[in-house]
Structure 1
Amino acid sequence: MMLLDKINLDLKEAMKNKNKTKLETIRLIKTTLMNEKIKLMVDKLSEEQEIAVVAREVKQRKDSIIEYEKAERADLVEKEKVQLDILQTYLPKQLEEKEIIDLIEKIVVDSNFTSIKDMGKVMSTLSPLVKGRADMAKVSQLVKNYLNK
């Protein structure tokens, strides 16, 4: 089932259940997907493109939560957290830190990378393997830590 199909089913369910927050969030992501489709001038987004759009929205929510916490806006923090939880249901299962470290170790050993100067090479090899399944900032930090050992 394509992501957009799942979103449409969840939209109908949220309407039936009169779940205002979920309905609002699903409409937002559906609109964002449609806008991306128009921007790219395609008839249908690939699954990777859909996941990238949802991941971008998730990142935006996380950034908003941090900013609202700084401004001590508990009401908005709570709203963003609820939206974040809803959006994360549309992303693939996220990799655990241990799984990411195992991938890094495999790439470093197989390619004989030894120093922090090889970080770009490690990241370019690792990125396609974890894209959409891990926060790239976290991945970058793990690679840096591993190469600095």
Structure 2
Amino acid sequence: MIERVSEDIKAAMKAKDKGRLDALRLLKSAFIENNTSAKPKSDAEVAIAHVKKLKDSMESYPAGSEEVAKIKSEIEFLSAYVPQPLSKEDFETMVRTFIHDNPGADFGAVMKAISPEIKGRFDGREASQIVKTLVG
């Protein structure tokens, strides 16, 4: 993914798209930092964490401020690098399929199996509530 980001940085430089360029450079630095860490994560996890940090930082600024608009545009630029979110229906189908394929699976077994697949794509709290309902 870092190669894709590098190519997109070049394209943004040629297009003189400063907002996109800044957002991509920050993402690339997050990838580089991750790759040199003791326990590197997957590129998808790094991208998800970076976008999550941006979303969390929006709460620090007053609504409608220039900073919030800048962060929203950065999130929009980076959405192409983050796995697409799962719909509630898709998640429920995934859980039902797992339960069907593994009769007698309890809440812990379902969550353990499904959590890696939904990381960054579906809210964990909502996931646990749905699993409790379906396993119940």
TM range (shorter): 0.7 to 0.9
C-alpha distance in structure 2 between counterparts of 1:113 and 1:72, whole Å: 48
Q: Which amino acid aligns with 1:52?
A: E
1:80 pairs with 2:78? no
Q: Which amino acid aligns with 2:79?
A: Q
Q: Could you say what the CA RMSD is over the residues aligned between the two structures, in angstroms?
A: 2.3
Aligned position for 1:13: 11
Unaligned runs of 5+ in 1: none
1:60 pairs with 2:53? yes
Aligned position for 1:122: 110
Q: Which amino acid aligns with 1:129?
A: E
C-alpha distance in structure 2 between counterparts of 1:148 and 1:92, whole Å: 26
Q: TM-score, normalised by structure 2?
A: 0.83
Aligned position for 1:104: 95
1:37 to 1:142, Cα distance in 2 relative to 1, 3 A: closer
Unaligned runs of 5+ in 2: none
Q: Which amino acid aligns with 1:105?
A: R
Q: TM-score, normalised by structure 1?
A: 0.76
- Count the aligned residue pairs: 134
C-alpha distance in structure 2 between counterparts of 1:23 and 1:37, whole Å: 21
| Kept after mapping to 2: 8 A contact 1:123/1:140 | no
